[in-house]
Amino acid sequence: MAVDDVIETEGKITSVLAGTMFRVELSNKHSVLAHISGKMRKRFIRLTNGDRVKLEMSPYDLNKARIVYRLG
């Protein structure tokens, strides 16, 4: 997948799941399953309920996403 093929959006973490997985609600009330990117995992960035995050999604599967940045 090329870098140009990602959809960037923002959302809010609604629940923390096992295995560094998160349930994130987007601004259009759509809920996705998201995991942490490698750089965030490497830097030990902590995420909790209510945090706003920036997501990258594939246009092929709109139910899964990767968290790339914590907005606060």
pLDDT in tens, 19-42: 899 999 999 999 999 999 999 999
Task: Compute the mean pLDDT over every residue in the chain, rounded to the nearest whole number.
Answer: 93
DSSP 59: T
pLDDT band at 4 (very low <50, low <70, confident <90, very high): confident
The model's pTM is 0.90
The CA distance from 5 to 68, in Å, is 15
Q: Which residue has the tokens 């909790």?
A: 48
- CATH code for the domain defined by 7-70: 2.40.50.140
CA separation for the pair 50, 24 (Å, rounded): 9
Q: Where are the domains of the chain?
A: 7-70
30, 9 contact by CB (below 8 A): no
- Dist CA 47 CA 20 (whole Å): 9
* Backbone phi, psi, residue 38, to 5°: -65, -40
